[in-house]
Amino acid sequence: MMPFMIVLFLGSVIVFLAILAAIIWFLTKIGGGGNREAQADETRLMQELHQGLEKMEARIEALETILLETRNRKGERP
């Protein structure tokens, strides 16, 4: 039982350090200055992705509504 706990603890420490290193790398890459044109392109891309995800969310909600209405007509429970 004890070796398992040690391995689990060391594994979680390694995962934590890896996540911390990734966050630091990400922040230095993003916040490292760079040219404005690249940042503008990245901002535009993020906005397009956000808009696309909002549209997808609306479509999924519409499909869920259609599915629930169809089930209710047939007398099924969700």
> pLDDT tens digits for 7-58?
788 888 899 889 999 988 887 777 655 677 777 888 899 999 999 999 999 9
pTM (global) more than 0.85: no
What is the token pair recorded at 55? 């549209």
Res 78 pLDDT > 60: no
Q: Same domain for 41 and 21?
A: no
Q: Same domain for 1 and 17?
A: yes
Q: Same domain for 41 and 73?
A: yes
pLDDT band (50, 70, 90) for residue 2: low
Q: Same domain for 41 and 69?
A: yes
Q: Same domain for 19 and 55?
A: no
Q: Which domain holds residue 12?
A: 1-30
Q: Are 17 and 10 in contact (CB under 8 A)?
A: no
Instruction: Give the three-class secondary structure for 75.
Output: coil
Which conformational region is residue 34 in: left (phi greater than 0), alpha (psi within -120 to 50 degrees), or beta? left
Most confident of 1-10, 22-31, 65-74: 65-74
Distance CA 78, CA 75 (A): 10
Q: Same domain for 26 and 59?
A: no
Q: Same domain for 14 and 42?
A: no
Predicted local distance difference test score (pLDDT) of residue 10: 83
Q: Number of structural domains, the chain? A: 2
Predicted local distance difference test score (pLDDT) of residue 30: 75
Q: Same domain for 23 and 7?
A: yes
